[in-house]
Amino acid sequence: MKTNTAAKFSDGSFLPVIDKCEGCGRIVEVDGSKYCDAYMNPGAKWRLGFCNLATHAKPEVVVVKARINPLKASKRSSRRK
């Protein structure tokens, strides 16, 4: 299995990981170089801001609380009665 993994990464289609990938569980080290086992070009996954395959980082979920106009809310509640 080790030789098959080395052959997979030695053909040049896989690019080495970038600094944002450090700590990820998908990193495989072959012949002193670190590669992503899930994606061929890890830099492209981080280009838009976050890699969806990253095991070491979780996206922050931001909940935006909507401001409700009290006048409109009272009118809506009076129509329902």
Sequence spans of domains, the chain? 2-80
Q: What is the pLDDT of residue 1?
A: 46
Backbone φ, ψ for residue 35 (5° rounding): -130, 155
Quickly count: other Cβ atoms within 10 Å of residue 10's Cβ: 13
pLDDT of residue 81: 61
* The one-letter amino acid at 71: L
Tell whether the model's pLDDT for residue 52 goes beyond 60: yes
Determine phi and psi for 27, rounding to 5 degrees.
-75, 135
Tell me 63's DSSP state.
Answer: P
pTM of the predicted model, to two decimals? 0.61
